[in-house]
């Protein structure tokens, strides 16, 4: 991807690097718990300290997600969330924020059913910067990855502890924007990662690529985020934010006056922790 123009993702990682710190990547599920509240959360994330936003596309059968994100997706679907509405959320977000990168994260079937060419066109036009599609490994690059790159959308691949040096080149080929290192063998929001092992893995990946490496799965607290931030270009927090949404709901599962603040409050404390840690390794 040598010929691509600088993107929002490139600019944001570069800016964070210049500040000598990791980027805070926040995941929230689109439409959770309802469209209006979710749109308000999205709009408030940059101000709370999110550097990059991963917007989860709800799916009925999220095979790589733990209970928190499964539940968030089901809340959103129950509220009538669709892929078209999720793309529209990004379009609305872009009216007030032209700089914060937004990456859609989810599973392939809703995109496949929407239609790949139409999806890429609509997502690009709405201001989406990249895609993370959990169930599309390099073996299926022809489905979405290559068309996405051709359409000017970054395709961000997951690397995992099982991705050894032999396989890593296959994973990194056609990856753009950044590499998402899954810090544990497991589903989202489960075991806590070991910061030392993660730093070693990040260094291993960086010996194969010039792309930034963000680390996620299992990072829940400001303390954990700070520990991971010391050895990575970005820290992803998802389940903890989706849990914060859940805890703020009323007995019927509806948003309350607390919901947006519950998420932004946690993001602010995560941002403070990440900003307080200097990167160990220079670029």
Partner 1 sequence: MNAPNSFRTGPDENGHFGIFGGRFVAETLMPNILELEAAYRAACADPSYKAEMEEGLKHYVGRPSPLYFAERLTEHLGGAKIYLKREELNHTGSHKVNNVLGQILLARRMGKKRIIAETGAGQHGVATATLCARYGLQCVVYMGAVDVARQAPNVFRMKMLGAEVVPVQSGSKTLKDAMNEALRDWVTNVRDTFYCIGTVAGPHPYPGMVRDFQSIIGIETRAQMLEAEGRLPDSLIACIGGGSNAMGLFHPFLDDPSVAIYGVEAAGHGIASGLHAASLTGGRPGVLHGNRTYLLMDDDGQIAEAHSISAGLDYPGIGPEHSWLHDIGRVNYISATDEEALAAFQLLSKLEGIIPALEPAHAIAKVIEIAPTLPADHLMVVNLSGRGDKDIPQVAEILGSRL
Q: Does 83 bind partner 1 (CB under 8 A)?
A: yes
Any idea of the CA torsion for 158, 215, 149, 76, to the nearest 10 degrees? 80
Residue 27 · residue 56 · CB < 8 Å: yes
Nearer to partner 1, 92 or 113 (CB): 113
Q: How far apart are CA 150 and CA 233, in angstroms?
A: 26
Q: Does 236 bind partner 1 (CB under 8 A)?
A: no
Give the shortest CB-209-to-partner 1 separation in angstroms: 15
182 membership: H or E segment, kind and range: strand 179-182
Residue 83 is classified by DSSP as H
Q: Does 59 bind partner 1 (CB under 8 A)?
A: yes
Among 95, 98, 164, 210, indicate the residue that binds partner 1 (CB under 8 A). Answer: 164
Among 40, 77, 88, 151, indicate the residue that binds partner 1 (CB under 8 A). Answer: 77
Any idea of the CA torsion for 121, 177, 184, 140, to the nearest 10 degrees? 50
Q: How are strands ordered across the β-sheet holding 154-155?
A: 154-155, 130-133, 102-106, 52-56, 23-29, 234-237, 213-216, 179-182, 158-159
Q: Which residues contact 67 (CB under 8 A, 6 or more apart)?
A: 189
Give the shortest CB-26-to-partner 1 separation in angstroms: 21
Active-site residue numbers? 54, 65
Interface stretch with partner 1, choices 17-25, 33-41, 156-164, 225-233 (CB under 8 A) = 156-164
Q: How far apart are CA 257 and CA 137, in angstroms?
A: 40
Nearer to partner 1, 14 or 118 (CB): 118
Nearer to partner 1, 26 or 163 (CB): 163
Contact mark string toward partner 1, 101..140, x via CB under 8 A: ------xxxxxxxx-------------------xxxxxxx
132 membership: H or E segment, kind and range: strand 130-133
Give the shortest CB-66-to-partner 1 separation in angstroms: 8
| Footprint (CB under 8 A) of partner 1, residues 22-41 | none
- 3-state SS, residue 96: coil
Q: Does 168 bind partner 1 (CB under 8 A)?
A: no
Instruction: Count CA atoms closer than 13 A to 77's CA, side-chain side.
Output: 14
Nearer to partner 1, 77 or 192 (CB): 77
- Measured CA to CA in angstroms, residue 153 lies from 3, 47, 128, 156 at distances of 13, 25, 8, 9
Give the pair of three-digit tokens for residue 46.
């940059």
Interface stretch with partner 1, choices 164-172, 201-209, 220-228, 232-240 (CB under 8 A) = 164-172
Give the shortest CB-30-to-partner 1 separation in angstroms: 12
Q: Does 221 bind partner 1 (CB under 8 A)?
A: no
Nearer to partner 1, 49 or 56 (CB): 56
Nearer to partner 1, 16 or 148 (CB): 148
Binding site for partner 1 (CB under 8 A): 58-64, 66-67, 70, 77, 82-84, 107-114, 134-140, 157-164, 167, 171, 182, 185-187, 190
């Amino acid at each position: 991807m040598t010929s691509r123009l600088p993107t929002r993702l490139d600019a944001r990682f570069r800016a964070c690097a210049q500040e000598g710190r990791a980027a805070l990547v926040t995941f929230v599920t689109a439409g959770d718990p309802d469209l209006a509240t979710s749109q308000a959360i999205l709009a408030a994330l940059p101000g709370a300290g999110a550097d990059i936003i991963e917007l989860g596309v709800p799916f009925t059968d999220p095979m790589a997600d733990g209970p928190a994100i499964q539940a968030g997706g089901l809340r959103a679907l129950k509220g009538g969330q669709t892929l078209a509405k999720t793309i529209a959320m990004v379009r609305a977000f872009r009216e007030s924020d032209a700089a914060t990168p937004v990456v859609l994260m989810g599973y392939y079937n809703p995109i496949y059913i929407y239609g790949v060419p139409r999806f890429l066109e609509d997502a690009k036009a709405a201001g989406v910067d990249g895609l993370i599609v959990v169930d599309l490994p390099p073996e299926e690059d022809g489905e979405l990855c290559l068309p996405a790159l051709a359409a000017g959308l970054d395709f961000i691949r997951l690397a995992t502890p099982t991705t050894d040096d032999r396989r890593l080149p296959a994973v990194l080929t056609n990856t753009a924007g950044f590499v998402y290192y899954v810090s544990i063998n497991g589903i989202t929001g489960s075991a806590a990662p070991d910061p030392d092992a993660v730093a070693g893995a990040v260094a291993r990946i960086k010996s194969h690529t010039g792309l930034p490496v963000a680390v996620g799965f299992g990072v829940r607290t400001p303390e954990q985020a700070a520990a991971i931030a010391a050895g990575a270009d970005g820290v992803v927090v998802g389940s903890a934010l989706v849990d914060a949404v859940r805890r703020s709901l009323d007995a019927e599962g509806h948003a309350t006056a607390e919901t947006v603040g519950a998420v932004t409050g946690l993001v602010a404390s995560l941002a403070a922790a990440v900003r307080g840690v200097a990167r160990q390794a220079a670029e």
